[in-house]
Amino acid sequence: MSADALQWFKSTYSGSEGGECLEVAFCPHTIHIRDSKNPADDSPTLHVAPATWTAFTKFAAR
């Protein structure tokens, strides 16, 4: 799936001034992650399984 076809989200904790933010797009079997400063369709993205994303967010919340 191309990055343009995904619905990308930034954390509500991210400010409007830009900077070091990540965007995520949720699919049934994959979580797509990219740098919000470079959202072009050909920019690199990281793909992880939903269970991996859940473990990461639980760890980050601690």
Q: Identify the band that residue 52 occupies on the pLDDT scale cut at 50, 70 and 90.
A: very high
Cα 45 from Cα 2, distance rounded (Å): 11
Please list, in sequence order, all residues whose beta carbon lies within 8 angstroms of the beta carbon of residue 34, skipping any fewer than 6 positions away. 3, 8, 22, 23, 43, 44, 45, 46
Burial category of 24 from C-beta neighbours within 10 Å (exposed 0-12, middle 13-18, buried 19 and up): buried
pLDDT in tens, 15-36: 666 666 888 999 999 999 988 7
Half-sphere exposure of 29 (CA within 13 A, CB side): 1
